[in-house]
Amino acid sequence: MIRLLKTVNNYLSLVRFSHTVFAMPFALIGFFLAISKDEYSFSLRLLILVILCMIFARNAAMGFNRLADRRYDAMNPRTAAREIPSGIISSRSAGIFVIVNSILFIITAGFINKLTLILSPVALLIILGYSLSKKITNLCHFILGLGLSLAPAGAYISVTGSFSLLPVVYSFIVLTWVSGFDIIYALQDTDFDRAHNIHSIPSATGIKKSLTISALLHLTTVILVITAGLMYNTGFLFRGGAMIFIILLLYQHLIVKHDDLSRINIAFGTTNGIASIVFALFVILDMYI
């Protein structure tokens, strides 16, 4: 039993399961936005399927990312202790993990509705593609953002079987927000990425310009949050949640400076995790109160 728990913990660490808080709350926004319409009702079965899709998709994406980066992770002092380069999890086991989670994602999507089944391979291609994009383009941060941005629109489609404009706006919120904070996260590997020809905005433009680009993306996020509020008949709870979200966006830009990157992990993980959870909670409560 102890060995099993240790193995499970190793795989949770491999995929940084705690980072599920970035996209999962927005998937819940998409889900509850759909069932707030008169023609749809709450389904625990469907909610569980949506959550499982999120988990399987993210496991596949993160496992593939670690697999694709294993050679570079072994050379980078910051990442050398990760599970694959350190030998805690073998490349073969990680590959099986990715395949199993990819299959489970498609199967689970098939239990939701026909459209989610049809779109599941496309979603899988996007979220796995991020890991390869770092070898090709400096715009890889946007591909990561695009992958996570599928959460609110995908959850909405899971309920309704159709597209709608408002969940797409929430998807653009995730796209610009995630792309912006991923640029901040990439700052800590600027020199390593340049030395090993790994593409990123920081390695291409430098720290100062990257922080400016990230700030502009997050300014766009703020505009989109306001737009979402204007499109829906929102109340004080939405406005309160939006204000907290915006303040936390601003906070991460205040604590990460071009000459002081020591608080990147606070900005990347803690601040954005709290922002996502609080915003989603307030938005969902606002729909029903």
pLDDT per residue as tens digits for the range 116-125 = 999 999 999 9
The dihedral built from the CA positions of residue 65, 25, 123 and 134, taken in this order, carries a sign that is negative
Q: What is the 8-class DSSP label of residue 79?
A: T
pLDDT in the model for residue 6:
81
Amino acid at 193: D
Task: Give pLDDT tens digits for 37-73.
Answer: 888 999 999 999 999 999 999 999 999 999 999 999 8
Helix (H, G, I), strand (E, B) or coil at 257: strand
**What is the domain class of 20-288 according to CATH?**
mainly alpha
- pLDDT bucket at 20, cuts 50 / 70 / 90: confident
Going by pLDDT thresholds of 50, 70 and 90, the confidence category of residue 35 is very high
How far is it, in rounded angstroms, from Cα 21 to Cα 83? 21
Q: With contact defined as beta carbons under 8 Å apart, do 83 and 13 qualify?
A: yes
Please check the confidence at residue 27 and state whether its pLDDT lies above 80: yes
> What pLDDT is attached to residue 276?
95
Beta bridge partners of 257: 260
Q: Which of 247, 241, 245, 243 is nearest to 287 (CA)?
A: 241
Q: Which residue has the tokens 């989670």?
A: 101
Residue range 176-231, pLDDT digits in tens: 999 999 999 999 999 999 999 999 999 999 999 999 999 999 999 999 999 999 99
- pLDDT at position 38: 81
Surface-to-core class of residue 42, CB atoms within 10 Å of its CB (0-12 exposed, 13-18 middle, 19+ buried) = exposed
pTM: 0.94
Closest alpha carbon to 272 in 12, 15, 17, 25:
25
Question: What does R_g of the chain's alpha carbons equal in angstroms?
Answer: 19
Domain range list for the chain: 20-288
Structure tokens, 4: 């099993």
